[in-house]
Amino acid sequence: MSSSLNVAYAQTLSSLEGDEFEKEVAALIGRSIIGFQTVPANPQGDGGLDGFSHSGTRGYCCYGPEYSAAKKPKERVNAIVTKFSADLRRLFELETNGSALVHSENKELGTILPENRRLDEINLVVNWFENHQVVGPLHSLLMVYAGASRCKYVDPGVTLRIIGPNELVGLYAVDEMAIARIEQRAFLERVQIRAGVLTLADLRDFEEKMSALEGLLPGKTAAIRKLGGQLKDDWRTALAFEHELDDTLPTLHRSLEMARGKIMGKIASLMIASDEPWRELGRAGDVAKTLLQEAFGPQYGTIVTSVAHGEVARLVGECTIDWGRKNGESSRVA
């Protein structure tokens, strides 16, 4: 893999936050180390360990702090040291009591690590490692914790390594699949961020139709309002998805436009054929999802479901939909 692609991968990795960062780190390491095991957080947390390898002797803790251009390096250093020191205390079965360290049993690790295995190497993987001031404090804390711990799950001579995006690409193989995967993760992250700040321009028709639905279905007001809120959230996601495609992947944006035409035709037929069109909203979402999956394949994952329901919401808000008749009167809302 060329150095330019390694650099591109590292830069994109550094832009991921939270669970998305952790998932990508696990995917990269898992392709390079046979036997790498991720640790689900359920049912009672992950015990401070996000993954392990080498039969339970090498541990991994990941942290993808939320990026903020306004956050000063010192604040980021403090956040990283605070997070990883808490993870280390859990691995060493310690907690603070004032200035003292006291034993605190970590029952979860007993169900995570193989029996009679202790960590002899801990890797702290973070999406930002551009300041050496995180190094000394964490390595110093490791020695303090090792001295205070009963060392049930961690070897007293355990070593520590802090790994940022640039170090990660030097340790593990980056291939075309990894590049495609991380670009996809970054794309979806941008969609979610964009959806969170989007404002739907004109909701009058949509709100009027949802109000009409409350009249058609007495006693279902709470459920209808909850549905309306979810549809609006999905509508924002669909718009963010469209805008992100238009900005970064114009070829796929054309695929979206073609899929939209098919969705409109299929849902119109579905609504016209029903005496109670409001009961077809669920099926309309399934139709939209199927058509979007045909257009984009599996790589966009669960966001396709939100986009599909968002397309249904858009049609409710932008098109004249006849909810049907009740008590012999037209319930058309436009």
Mean pLDDT for 135-154 is 97
Listed residue (53, 55, 41, 127) closest to 84, CA to CA: 127
pLDDT surpasses 70 at 158: yes
Mean pLDDT for 293-314 is 86
pLDDT surpasses 60 at 327: no
160, 203: one domain:
no
pLDDT surpasses 70 at 281: yes
Tens of pLDDT, residues 81-114: 999 999 999 999 999 999 899 999 999 999 999 9
45, 104: one domain:
yes
Tens of pLDDT, residues 47-70: 999 999 999 999 999 999 987 755
Tens of pLDDT, residues 169-219: 989 878 777 777 778 878 888 898 899 999 998 898 899 889 988 988 889
SS3 162: strand
pLDDT of amino acid 322: 57
pLDDT of amino acid 82: 96
Residue 216 counted as domain residue: yes
139, 266: one domain:
no
**Domain C-terminal end among 119, 152, 171:** 171
160, 208: one domain:
no
**pLDDT-based confidence at residue 2 (cuts at 50, 70, 90):** low
Tens of pLDDT, residues 216-270: 888 999 999 999 999 999 999 999 999 999 988 888 889 999 999 999 899 888 8
166, 87: one domain:
yes
Distance from chain centroid for Cα 327: 47
Residue 128 counted as domain residue: yes
125: its two tokens = 């993987």
Whole-number Å distance between alpha carbons of 171 and 252: 34
146, 213: one domain:
no
**Domain C-terminal end among 154, 171, 188:** 171
Domain of residue 166: give its range: 3-171
329, 210: one domain:
yes
pLDDT of amino acid 85: 97
- Domains contained in the chain, number: 2
125, 220: one domain:
no
**31/152: higher pLDDT:** 152
Residue 11 counted as domain residue: yes
**Domain C-terminal end among 136, 171, 206:** 171
42, 90: one domain:
yes
Region at 97 (left for phi over 0; alpha for psi -120 to 50; beta for the rest): beta
- Domain with residue 93: its CATH number is 3.40.91
Mean pLDDT for 312-331 is 62
Residue 268 counted as domain residue: yes
114, 252: one domain:
no
166, 25: one domain:
yes
For 160, residues 6+ apart whose C-beta sits below 8 A from its C-beta are 121, 122, 124, 138, 139, 142
Residue 24 counted as domain residue: yes
Distances from the Cα of 13 to the Cαs of 28, 112, 125, 165, 282, in angstroms? Answer: 11, 27, 11, 6, 37
Residue 189 counted as domain residue: no
Listed in sequence order, the DSSP H helices in the chain are 3-15, 18-32, 73-91, 107-112, 135-148, 165-171, 176-197, 204-216, 221-248, 250-272, 281-296, 303-318
pLDDT of amino acid 62: 96
108, 165: one domain:
yes
pLDDT of amino acid 268: 85
pLDDT of amino acid 320: 54
Residue 17 counted as domain residue: yes
